[in-house]
């Protein structure tokens, strides 16, 4: 969901944030739609999420509110992580190692996460992101 949010300090944050390799936590932060609401509470379906590496663990943090909230306790997704590399696929179809955009609402079309595990095994995950991550026929090259 391309939405600018506010941090705990009130600063504006882009719709999709990706830190450099020297900042493992949070490595990425974004807003998603489809937040579960099993109790039918009066709240938004949007949710701010961030992922990072802390003490050899790939973690996920969720926020109760999109703007100005403190994160909830982190959930451990993968243990024994020696390092993580991210790649981002832009609207042009090209993969790149960092995500920098002059437009704070622009999000990548896909994210690749490759974790180097301490036992030497790589662990690779691919995620489609963005409002419409799959190009429409009108956007696809002829051929």
Q: What is the pLDDT of residue 96?
A: 92
What pLDDT digit, counting tens, does each position of 7-28 carry? 888 888 888 988 865 666 788 8
What pLDDT digit, counting tens, does each position of 95-106 carry? 998 898 889 999
Give the pair of three-digit tokens for residue 88.
Answer: 């981002």
The whole-chain average pLDDT of the chain stands at: 82
44: left (phi over 0), alpha (psi -120 to 50) or beta: beta
CA distance 80 to 73: 19
What pLDDT digit, counting tens, does each position of 121-142 carry? 888 999 888 655 455 555 555 5
CA distance 30 to 86: 14
- Under DSSP, the state recorded for 57 is E
Give the pair of three-digit tokens for residue 52.
Answer: 């990072």
């Amino acid at each position: 969901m391309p939405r600018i949010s506010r941090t705990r300090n009130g600063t504006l944050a882009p719709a999709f944030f990706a830190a450099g390799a020297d900042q493992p936590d949070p490595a990425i932060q974004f807003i998603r739609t489809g937040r579960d609401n099993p109790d039918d509470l009066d709240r938004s379906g949007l949710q701010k999420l961030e992922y990072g590496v802390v003490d050899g663990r790939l973690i996920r943090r969720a926020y109760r509110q999109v703007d100005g909230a403190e994160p909830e306790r982190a959930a451990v997704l993968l243990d024994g992580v020696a390092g993580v590399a991210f790649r981002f696929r832009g609207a042009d179809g090209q993969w790149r190692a960092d995500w920098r955009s002059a437009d704070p609402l622009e999000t990548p079309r896909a994210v690749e996460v490759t974790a180097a595990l301490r036992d030497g095994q790589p662990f690779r995950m691919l995620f489609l992101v963005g409002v419409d991550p799959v190009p429409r026929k009108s956007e696809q090259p002829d051929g």
